[in-house]
Structure 1
Amino acid sequence: MLTGGNVESPRQFVGIVACVALAFPMATVAGTNFDVCLANLQNGTFGVGVDVGGTDDHGYPVNVSVATGMTYSLCVQACGVGQEPFQWAIFSQQFSSWLLPWLALVSQLPFGANDKLDNLESVLLTVGSPTLAAYSLFLTVLNSRWVTKRFEKYTYPNVANAIRILSSLQQSPIRVMKEGGLLASLIVLPDNDKWWTELAKLINYTHTWSISAVTSIAWVVIAYIFTILSSFTVGITNAINSNGQGVGSLWLWLLPIVIGWLQISPKCDTVRLSDAIDRANKLAHVATESGEVVLLDETKPKALRAITLTLTKGDDLHRDEKCTPPVFNYARVFPWVQAVEDVSEAFQAASYHYDDQKPVDDSSDWALVKSGQKPDQSNRMGTRDQVIAYCTSLRLAKRYRSRWGPNVISRMFIASALALMLQWGTTGAAFIQVWYTPTRGLGCRSASYLLYAVLSTIVWMLLVISSILTRYASTNQYIHILLEGPAIRHWPTRAARMTSIIFRRLGKLIAAINSLWVVVACIFQFASVFDNCYCNSSVFYLHDHAYNVIALLPGDVTSVKSAWVGGLFLAGGTAIIYVLFVNVLIDPPLPAD
């Protein structure tokens, strides 16, 4: 596991899915036998000639004696509407090879919340919307890079530790308090250097590449490669409609997501994060009006700290912001960026004054130090007002500050593009592999894959829009309380608030349904539930011209192999591109402290 958090719920989810999968086909049941139907058609049981309903592999009418398929109407008449009988040997082999390794890999996703429901939600959101999972992951990478670039030009001490801390707290509902000189004291006072060092060390706890994670990934990769090779070498026409080529491509998105989070090593363990913040804050000092430096624990309530976490779930509008599993990073991007901006502006102002060789106490002279060394401690001491003024700049005061944050929309756009590429690249590959498996066209299998990707995209859209509306409602509510009082709430704010909550709940509901649907659809494919006249005839696509191909010719086998190979390259290439982008942008070099 990535974290030491509570993961019973995700494991229960995987266990339930596996039990459902194994319990679904309780026994072999009698059903349609398409080979017998085709033999009866060729023997003239339903008539002879071209007009009976026999077809070739492309749906053209042929004499029944050489037919390799039949029209949908004849299929229903000759074979019935039932499915082919469930075969345990095929089901167990396909399920264990194509689907079970992916379900096991779900347990390697990062969780970490105290609440089991939050951990279960994170699984359902990830499986139900790979688009959202890929979006949150890549947005985390881009945010870490942005905060590094934002701070690298600052020259005041503790910049590198500030970058580490702020990047690591993307999985947390961070709150920055500037009132009373709390933030300014944290940055300026030399007594707080230990706070920055200690917190950076305390939150650097996650072990990324555990034996469990490496074993799970290796099992999935090896099983996937072996199964692909087997599917091409052990007779492609054997239970072709139950083949898991499409299923393997459909789930391939999970591999770059797990690898990406392992590389990022998200700090999402609620207990450890809270403990780290509390332990570091015991070291925090604050400047007083007299210029004396005192411990905050001796003068201020515990809630009054420069940097804290708001983990208590109160307002329903901000619920997802307080959930630490990293799939919820989509909901934290705006408040996190604003918190970073608060810290950045204070560091920037302090760096301006430091570069101009101005001490905190403007009545004293600047104590010179050698190049590359930290400012002399005497340059960093002063009264509370002087410390606050040192972290304030007229150049920054004139700058307009957006409610959204600098460049956040462009980062969201890039993360969205990569997430959609991963989702539709893997699903599109699965769709192509099934589409070109006779009978060609949109059938039950390809439609189920398409539905999965569409619902995944809808979930992502709903939750991202919800995060935007939450930010709008939060800032508008704050502004109107300042201007008009707490009793008045502007109607656009009320509408945004309500819409945000509805979109978030609807998105989660769809994600839960979609996560169960994708597993059930795969099980249906392996259990021959889709092996009936309606699904095999691609009625969705061909309508009145629907036909069911039962016997494959050598040319069809070659075409199917080509489609399968193309799908493998599309899915694998998409996953590799996503991982490459993550690796190129991750871990930017930190400035020297």
Structure 2
Amino acid sequence: MRMSISDSADGRPNHIAAFVCNHWHSTLLSLLLRLGIVGAVDFASCILEVRSRSNSSGATDNSGNPISNISSATAITYELCKEVCGSGAEPFVWNIFSQQFTAWLLPYLALVAQLPFGADIKFDNVVAVLLSVGSPTLAAYSLAITTSNGHWIARRFSRFSYPNVRNAVQILSRLQQTPIKVITRGSLLASLVVLSENDRWWSELVNGLNYTHTWSISSVASIIWVSIAYLFTVIDSFTGTITLSTLNANGQGVGSVYLWLLPVVIGWLQLGPKCDSVRLHQAVDRVNIDAYIASERGPIPADESEGSGDRAISLSKRTSSLHRDEQCSPPIYNYARFLSWVQAVEDVYQVFEEASERAERHVSVDPSIPWVRAEKGGKLRPENRRGTLAQVELYARPRRAVHRSRWGPDVLSRFLVSSFLALALTWSTTGAAVIVVWFTPTRGLGCRSGAYILYGVVSTLVWATLVTSSALAHYATQPVDIYGDGVYPRSTRFAARLSIILRRLGKVLATGNAVWIVLACILQFSSFFDRCYCNSSVLGLGSFAYDVIDLVPGDVATMKAAWIGGVALASGCSALFVGWISVFINPPLPPE
């Protein structure tokens, strides 16, 4: 099956992912070919030499218990293995490497191309790839929080009946991939919501943001390729002949550790994020030209473009280092926009709340104009939504003091749910990979399982570091109200510096982790880990380490049971993650 990796999920060229798939692994492969030639060990000859010895010192069974007859030994101690065979690895075997690499790793590297990107700066797309591969936790968290936000905003606005509330939900939900900016001072936002002349602004922006075709032949082919490859290789690993020569090169662990990529890609394709930075800015700038603002002189509104240049809703173009990630449109950066997006939604929510409550009580914007009833099932009459600048501003002003949280409503609950889903997906797939290699003789913590555990730990650390960085950035942006003046105390400046440090640290860790997991998988396929140290699980067993040189029926049964459990854990949690996304995606919108 052939597939294209030149297009990302948002339809834009994705040369970065193609470069990763076509060039990166070839450089590593040339390095492994050199490593396989130097210091190669023939373990078959070593085992014959061990069994021909008259001294039984170092002979054990497959549980590490010493036995007296070395000729019938099925395992040897790590010290004996190192003494007879040395510390080198088995020679590189191209047939094993090419088969395992093509079946287990290559489909996932190709699937990376289907992640949504869309930044106008190519380097941001590169970092998005590294963040996704280096931290599945962050990738799953950004997807979960985006889905949760869309469901939350639809429910929060559902009780309003004011015109354009349905459009507002769609617009705000689709602008999660951008640093949305809402200006509440004056009557800009009030005019945008209240005046009937701005109805066209809302409808045209909805149409302008409705451009992404999420599913494509390329994306479907990639998903089918990965699914079939995973299914066939799992079946082959259970039905094929299990021998020590190919056991440790088995790709069960690799297939599980990368399985998180499948539900994340499917989730983004279902969600269809609007992440083309150029098109988003063009759509918002285009409609803002036709926005109207209430006039001080009378009920006829003025063109907003004739004013100061400020817009009620626009896309921020801040270039400060503190808000660097907020400006990046790839959806994996939604973690950085979560809190600021919630605050922008709350600004719009309060205006719709006040306007809707007054309209339900049949109060016109201009008190001197009697309320004009609409026809049954019809929209609010334009006469009821017309007034001077002062009247429009008063119409949308809260009638009572409103205490606004620095973080926003229901933020903690959505954060906890999204974090749980992200951590569950990460550690179910990583844990499944660990289980597969942990119960592969010699059982215990070794080089392969240690590599997977390190990958999961660093993935979680990257997520925690970057989420903390985004919270500190939001804290540093919010001034403290002292006697009516916004003041930025010393603590906010410290939070800003710490946020930048944590963000850069998280990206460095993610980059290293992405390189590490690809390199670790290639080293496994190339027999680099097939050495006395790794095969003896020295990391976990320490001085009691031993190397299994012959399988017994009990080993095969235990190993297959562990493989079944690993496959069930990884595939089951991945299916549940996709199921959760499918349930909460596309929530019912408020009636128009």
What TM-score range do you get, normalising by the shorter chain? Answer: over 0.9
CA–CA separation in structure 1 for the residues paired with 2:537 and 2:93: 23
Q: Structure 1 residue aligned with 2:135, among 126, 129, 150? A: 129
Q: 1:184: Cα distance to partner?
A: 0.9
Q: Distance in 2 between matches of 1:184 and 1:465?
A: 34
Residue 45 of structure 2 is aligned to residue 36 of structure 1: yes
**Residues 112-156 of structure 1: CA deviation (Å, up to 9, x unaligned):** 000111111111111100001111100001110110011110110
Alpha-carbon offset, residue 6 of structure 1: 5.2
Counterpart of 1:289 (choices 280, 283, 296) is 296
Letter matched to residue 58 of structure 1: S
Q: Distance in 2 between matches of 1:569 and 1:451?
A: 22
Give 3-state SS (helix, strand or coil) of 1:308's partner. Answer: strand
In structure 1, the residue matched to 2:4 is none
Q: 1:173 to 1:231 in 2, by over 3 A?
A: same
Contact persistence 1:10–1:119 (CA under 8 A): no
Structure 2 partner of 1:418: 421
The structural deviation recorded for 1:362 is 0.7
> 1:279 matched to which residue of 2?
286
Shift of 1:35: 2.0
TM-superposition CA deviations, 1:391-448 (whole Å, max 9, x none): 1221xx4231101000111100110001000000100000000000000000000000
Q: How far is 1:19 from its partner?
A: 2.0
Q: What CA deviation, in whole Å up to 9, does each residue of 1:12-33 have, x standing for no partner? A: 2333333234323336626112
Partner of 2:370: 365
Counterpart in the other structure of 1:439: 442
CA distance in 2, matches of 1:535, 1:149: 53
Aligned to 2:591: 592
TM-score by length of 2: 0.96
Q: Name the aligned partner's letter for residue 388 of structure 1.
A: E
Single out whichever of 382-391 and 507-516 deviates more from structure 2.
382-391
**Residues 472 and 495 in structure 2, CA contact (< 8 A), matched pair in contact too:** yes
Aligned to 1:53: 58
Of stretches 363-372 and 508-517 in structure 1, the one that deviates more from structure 2 is: 363-372
Partner of 1:18: 25
SS at match of 2:443: coil
The code of the aligned residue for 1:295 comes to D
- Measured against aligned partners, the alpha-carbon deviations of 1:511-561 in whole angstroms (never above 9, x if no partner) come to 000000000000010011111110110111111110000211122111111
User: Residues 398-413 of structure 1: matches in 2 within 5 Å?
Assistant: 398-413=401-416
Within 1, Cα distance between the matches of 2:404 and 2:269? 34
Farther-moved stretch of structure 1 (347-356 vs 236-245): 236-245
Counterpart in the other structure of 1:515: 514
- Cα distance in 2 between the residues matched to 1:176 and 1:364: 30
Report the counterpart of residue 557 of structure 1 in structure 2: 556
Matches for 1:189-588 after TM superposition, within 5 Å: 189-237=195-243, 238-290=245-297, 291-297=299-305, 299-302=306-309, 304-310=310-316, 312-394=317-399, 397-476=400-479, 479=481, 483=485, 489-588=488-587
Q: Matches of 1:569 and 1:77 in 2, distance apart? A: 40
Query: 1:490: Cα distance to partner?
Result: 2.4
In structure 1, distance between residues paired with 2:580 and 2:486: 47
Q: Equivalent residue of 1:70, what SS? A: strand
**Contact 2:118–2:276 (CA<8 Å) still a contact in 1?**
yes
Residues 111 and 222 in structure 2, CA contact (< 8 A), matched pair in contact too: yes
Deviations 1:160-184 (A, max 9, x none): 1111000000010000112331111
Secondary structure of 2:76's partner?
Answer: strand
Q: How far does residue 481 in structure 1 lie from its aligned partner after superposition?
A: 11
- Using a 3 Å threshold, how does the CA distance of structure 1 residues 196 and 210 change in structure 2: closer, same or farther? same
SS at 1:581's partner residue? helix
Q: How many pairs does the alignment contain?
A: 580
Cα separation, 1, equivalents of 2:383 and 2:368:
12
> 1:117 and 1:367 mapped to 2: Cα distance?
56
On the 8 A contact 1:165/1:199 being kept in 2, the answer is yes
The code of the aligned residue for 1:152 comes to S
Q: Say if 1:38 and 1:69, in contact at 8 Å, map to a contact too.
A: no
RMSD between superposed Cα atoms in Å = 1.5
Identity score, percent: 51
Aligned to 2:5: none
Give ranges in structure 1 of 5+ residues lacking alignment: none
